[in-house]
């Protein structure tokens, strides 16, 4: 019995990708597997995504690209993040495409050998990329002129696609489309891409030649509600077990700081998982757990290695399963539910599951 386990259904990832690929066709699907596949495991997620129809994979760092290649992943691979010269050595050696928005960077890529380059226009995210279409054109021309480099793509990234009825997505599209289309006319075969999961599902006009889906690949809702609304299946469950059960009489407490003090006689279960595993301390007195399929409240402080739950009048056997994310019968706890308790997003919930929680793959 594992003290904590993240069980990942790679079949769900494959089916999510098949659903997304069909929805966005004829655009290609790029599966984003950065941050260890959003906590699901980069290589297993990438393989499942490819089986589901993903033509491209994308990561944030050169090291992530190197690790995928070391795990035997082939096919087109894009490193989307900013790269130092040392990073460039790693990315180019991994046969990954890179993103450029400055001419000096293009020269640095060219000095390292053949590589594909995607030019990035900043249409409103305000992070990476150039806001100047003339500079973006010069970067594209520099790539085209450099021996050994391939001008593979032109891209941008949306800031508010996950916000309903937000007009800023349309403003960004209006800034990207004329520049990108004109560039593609001068460079036939250029791959245009802009949409993340939210934009891919929300706005057909944002799909262009490829969409970059991350959160939806893993069966989570880019709009932070319910993935079932989009036919997506959550791929990860986080489980543990009840390691101890004891009676708490009125006035007795559980956990650091006595954040829970029993007002009546009750049974307290201790579950050996905590913020050292990614269960955030902000869930103190602020979460539910499915214990033996029954929803019970998390009570007391989340500590590094343990949480406590109020079992009420129904004590359970040692070893009874405890589900922190997942579905049992009619009860479910989604990553979106946990995120809502934390006033954050579902991305952070699964990415926060630490490396000391083993991943088990099935499906």
Give me the helix-helix angle, 103-110 and 85-93, nearest 10°.
50
Catalytic annotation, pick one of 34, 120, 275, 361: 34
Beta carbons within 8 Å of 123's beta carbon, 6+ residues apart: 129, 131, 156, 171, 172, 173, 175, 176
Give the C-alpha separation, 31 to 335, whole Å: 20
54 vs 62: CA distance, rounded Å = 20
Residue 218 annotated to the active site:
no
Number of Cβ within 10 Å of residue 242's Cβ equals 22
Element (H, E) at 95: none
Q: What is the DSSP letter of 125?
A: S
Catalytic site residue from 218, 256, 275, 361: 256
Q: What is the β-pairing status of strands 236-241 and 56-59? A: unpaired
CB-based contacts of 236: which residues, under 8 Å, 6+ apart?
6, 7, 8, 9, 39, 40, 218, 219, 325, 335, 350, 353
User: In 187-328, where does DSSP find H-type helix?
Assistant: 197-202
CA-to-CA separations, 269 to 266, 300, 305, 324, 357, in angstroms, rounded? 10, 11, 14, 14, 20
Between CA 30 and CA 20 the distance in angstroms is 10
Burial grade of 291 (CB within 10 A; 0-12, 13-18, 19 or more): buried
Q: For this structure, is 34 an active site residue?
A: yes
- With left for phi above 0 and alpha for psi between -120 and 50, is residue 290 left, alpha or beta? beta
Active site residues: 34, 256
């Amino acid at each position: 019995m594992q003290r904590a386990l993240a069980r990942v259904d790679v079949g769900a990832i494959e089916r999510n990708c098949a659903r997304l690929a069909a929805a966005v066709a004829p655009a290609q699907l790029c599966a984003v597997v950065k941050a260890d596949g959003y906590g699901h495991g980069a290589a297993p997620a990438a393989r499942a995504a490819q089986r589901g129809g993903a033509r491209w994979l994308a990561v944030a760092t050169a090291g992530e690209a190197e690790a995928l290649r070391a795990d035997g992943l082939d096919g087109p691979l894009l490193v989307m993040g900013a790269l130092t010269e040392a990073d460039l050595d790693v990315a180019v050696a991994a046969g990954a495409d890179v993103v450029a928005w400055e001419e000096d960077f293009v020269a640095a890529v060219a000095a390292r050998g053949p590589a594909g380059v995607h030019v990035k226009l900043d249409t409103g995210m305000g992070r990476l990329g150039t806001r100047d279409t003339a500079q973006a054109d010069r970067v594209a021309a520099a790539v085209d002129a450099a021996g050994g480099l391939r001008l593979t793509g032109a891209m941008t990234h949306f800031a508010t696609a996950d916000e309903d009825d937000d007009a800023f997505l349309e403003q960004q599209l209006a800034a990207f489309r004329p520049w990108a289309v004109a560039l593609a006319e001068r460079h036939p075969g250029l791959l245009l891409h802009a949409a993340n999961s939210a934009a891919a599902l929300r706005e057909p006009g944002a799909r262009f030649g490829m969409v970059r889906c991350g959160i939806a690949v893993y069966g989570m809702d880019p709009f932070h509600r319910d993935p079932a609304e989009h036919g997506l299946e959550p791929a990860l469950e986080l489980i543990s077990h009840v390691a101890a059960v004891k009676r708490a009489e009125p006035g007795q407490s559980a956990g650091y700081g006595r954040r829970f003090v029993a007002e009546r006689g009750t049974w307290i279960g201790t579950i050996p998982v905590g913020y050292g595993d990614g269960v955030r301390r902000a869930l103190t007195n602020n979460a539910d757990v499915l214990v033996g399929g029954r929803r019970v409240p998390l009570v007391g402080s989340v500590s590094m290695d343990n949480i406590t739950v109020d079992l009420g009048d129904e004590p359970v056997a040692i070893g009874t399963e405890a589900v922190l994310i997942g579905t049992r019968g009619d009860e479910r706890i989604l990553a979106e539910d946990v995120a809502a308790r934390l006033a954050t997003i579902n991305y952070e919930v699964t990415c926060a599951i630490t490396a000391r929680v083993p991943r088990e793959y099935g499906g």
